[in-house]
Structure 1
Amino acid sequence: MLRPVALVLLLLAPLRALAVETLRIAIEDTGGEVKVSGRGLAFGPDSEDASFVPIPSGQAVIRRRGAKLEVNGAPVVDGSVRFRAGAAASSDAGVPGDEPIKAGGAQVRGDVVVRPYRDGLQLINVIPLEDYLAAVLGSEMPVSFPPEALKAQAVAARTYALHKKLEAYSNAFHLGSSVLHQVYGGVNREDPRTLAAVEATRGQVLTYELAPIEAYFHASCGGRTESGHDALQRDLPYLQPVDCPCGKLPASRWKASMSDAEVKSALKHPAQGLRVSGRTPTRRVLSVTLGDGASMGGVELRRRLGYTRLKSLDFEVERTDRGYVFSGRGYGHGAGFCQWGAKALADDGWDYQEILSHYYPGAELQQLY
């Protein structure tokens, strides 16, 4: 059941001030020069109440000069500079711009901050949470999936983002844009179906003891999800193994062949003799013994052999004349929300609330704003 709640969270402070929840997403690290463009482009300091100066040409070249920045050849007083496009650029309301901005290789909504980072520059997208989610859905889940599956993914992604924001509240950015957090592809990943799913669940989050949960998700679990402890070293009550219909889908099955030379190069151990020596209660590989007798954890094995080749740890391995054949089920770490399972459940008539309750047992769906 969906209940309104007043969460005592730091994230409510910007919500009250701006009437919109925002995130800071690290979208690109570049060299010493980057171009930013947009209709009605303006720039100012990196603060919520900044005043912005219009750039008539709608284009800016930002260069790093030592520890300082230049915008179109003029030095910047502050350590970083923030760009905004659209009608909001002329106001001091603190709401990110309403016109897309092209920055480096990305096109995004909201504002773009450029700051010195290591030996080059870093681009940070300051974006309303709901706009961010529409692009995340188009990057993380096929937009052809049923509406109820997309809604469930929207709630999971919103919850995950808010949890990460709380963890990194005082940092320069809250999340990255790659698979290490949530894949975020900017404006080009939006779709009418993702926009509809985000709007239908606006402000809804999953909580446990009145805090946003760690809403991990993955593509396919292969028939049973993994515990948070075994998948991610996160022993959480709402990340427990549950049965899942994705195991019956062809998309959950995979095979990968690797030669002895490939395995030896990746593992830096003799390849011959690799065998599974331990499994979790859901039958995922916990550890392997290598050809020289050394032991390696399943998570490390998958990292070294490659996530796209060894798609999950739910696999059997067979020795061949020249190497190994890995036959597996699922794609991803297996904890929490299963995207292909959500599709199957939605096809069977489940609504998004039922889907979320299944994959995050004990978590509550609540209205944050």
Structure 2
Amino acid sequence: MLRPVALLLLLLSPLHALAVETMRIAMGDSQGQVRVSGKRLSFASDSEDARFSPLDQDSAVVRRRGSRLELNGAPVMGTAVRFRAGVDARDAGVPGSSPLRAGDMQVRGDVVVRLYKDGLQLINVIPLEDYLAAVLGSEMPVSFPPEALKAQAVAARTYALQKKLETYGSPFHMGSSVLHQVYGGVNREDPRSLAAVEATRGEVLTYELAPIEAYFHASCGGRTESGQDALQRNLPYLQAVDCPCGSLPASRWSATVSDAELQAALGQSTEGFHVTSRTATERVNRVATAGGLSLDGAALRRKLGYTKLKSLEFDVERSGGTWHFNGRGYGHGAGFCQWGAKALADEGLTYRDILLHYYPGTELQQLY
């Protein structure tokens, strides 16, 4: 049953009237100069109630000069400058709806350029629902069934709001890479992702009336992993559950690693390399060598590369000077399984059913 979460709405909504929920997404860093471009460009200080001034041109160059900023060669007050493009007919003339280009990304909303370390940092301030449309097109194949896309939209919205609460008051809430949620900007929008976001507008998953840490991954290989074993997050709604993705070809993978590669990852000889313990779902917990090294599985995966060692559910054997890994799943395995969601949607389950399967004990609520 959907119901409002008034307290969270009060905490999360910007203070100015008629505002929409926004996210601050770190787009990347620049050494000392960045170009921002967009139709009818304007600029302001980095605040929600700032008054924008037109630039009378469609591009601007921001440079760092010591501890100060310059905009088109003129000094700028403060440590950050915020840009906005003109209106776009698609959004009925809402300021900031027309895309901006900064660095190698084209995005909706505003772009902030701020002093950061020895260079500059780019931050996209974007309405949450616009952000989600691009995340959905980046994180899940848009060819997946509509109910799977809707489930992903709710999971991504919940994850974003939980991160916003966790980082409230910080210069940005999340990055744009796999370390948080992959966000590719305007180029990742698609009519099907837009439809899934709109169909679930404002819906979030909660546990005890707070947005959950809605972790998700590509494929679990047949059974999800507990939050404790996958992420060291002992959360009641991140439990191991059965999943239909195990029978899908997308869940199977193999990789070959040379002795030299493995030795570089371990920092010592590969002699006697073997798995010493596994979790309850048969994922690798620790590995060891004859030289006395003991390493947890997550560290091994990080050292060898997440695209090579796609998951920790694997068997490994040596042949000649090569190690052969055969595994199932892709990702950490906790929470929502994207390929499993596709399979469940193909079986006729709704997005609500899918979400409650992967996040047991949670509630689906209408936040706004």
Q: Distance in 1 between matches of 2:4 and 2:232?
A: 31
Provide the residue aligned with 1:81 in structure 2: 81
* 1:238 aligns to 2:251 (yes or no): no
1:44 maps to amino acid: A
Q: Which amino acid aligns with 1:34?
A: V
Q: Distance in 1 between matches of 2:205 and 2:34?
A: 38
The offset of 1:13, in angstroms, is 3.6
What is the Cα-based RMSD across aligned positions, in Å? 1.3
Instruction: Give the equivalent residue in structure 2 for 1:314.
Output: 313
Distance of 2:95 and 2:362 partners within structure 1: 32
Distance 1:317 1:140 in 2: 29
Contact 1:10 1:166 (C-alpha < 8 Å) held by counterparts? no
**Contact 2:218–2:329 (Cα < 8 Å) also in 1:** yes
Taking the aligned partners of 1:304 and 1:10, their CA distance within structure 2 comes to 43
> 2:308 is matched by which residue type in structure 1?
R
- The reply on whether 1:187 has 2:217 as its aligned counterpart is no
Q: Does 1:359 align with 2:358?
A: yes
Question: Any conservation in 2 of the 1:64–1:116 contact (CA below 8 Å)?
Answer: yes
Structure 2 partner of 1:157: 156
CA contact (8 A) 1:15 1:21 kept: no
1:92 counterpart residue number: none
Give the 3-state SS of the residue equivalent to 1:14 in structure 2: coil
Q: Structure 2: how far apart are the matches of 1:69 and 1:366? A: 43
Cα distance in 1 for residues equivalent to 2:152 and 2:317: 36
Residue 19 of structure 1 is matched in structure 2 by 19
Q: Distance in 1 between matches of 2:35 and 2:154?
A: 34
Aligned match of 2:131: 132
* TM-aligned CA deviation for residue 19 of structure 1: 2.8
Going from structure 1 to structure 2, the CA distance change for 1:345 and 1:16 (only over 3 Å counts) comes to farther
Task: State the percentage of identical aligned residues.
Answer: 73
Q: Relative to 1, partners in 2 of residues 1:18 and 1:269: Cα closer, same or farther, differing over 3 Å?
A: farther
CA–CA distance in 1 between the matches of 2:166 and 2:95?
Answer: 22
2:29 paired residue number: 29
TM-score, scaled to structure 1: 0.96
Partner residue, 1:283: 282
C-alpha displacement at 1:69, in angstroms? 0.5
1:172-198 CA deviation, whole Å, 9 max, x = no partner? Answer: 000000000000000000000000000
Query: What is the Cα deviation at residue 239 of structure 1?
Result: 0.1
Q: How does 1:1-369 map to 2 (within 5 A)?
A: 1-8=1-8, 11-14=11-14, 17-87=17-87, 97-369=96-368
Deviations along 1:246-295, one digit per CA (max 9) or x if unpaired, are 00000000001111111001211111211000000000000011241211
- 1:287-326 CA-partner distances (Å, limit 9, x unpaired): 0112412111011111111110000000011121112101
C-alpha contact 1:96 1:126 (8 A) present in aligned 2: no
Superposed CA offset, 1:227-259 (max 9, x none): 000000000000000000000000000001111
Greater than 4 Å deviation, 4+ residue runs:
none
Residues 96 and 128 in structure 1, CA contact (< 8 A), matched pair in contact too? no
Instruction: Name the CA distance, whole Å, in 1 between partners of 2:141 and 2:281.
Output: 27
Deviates more, 1:159-168 or 1:267-276: 267-276
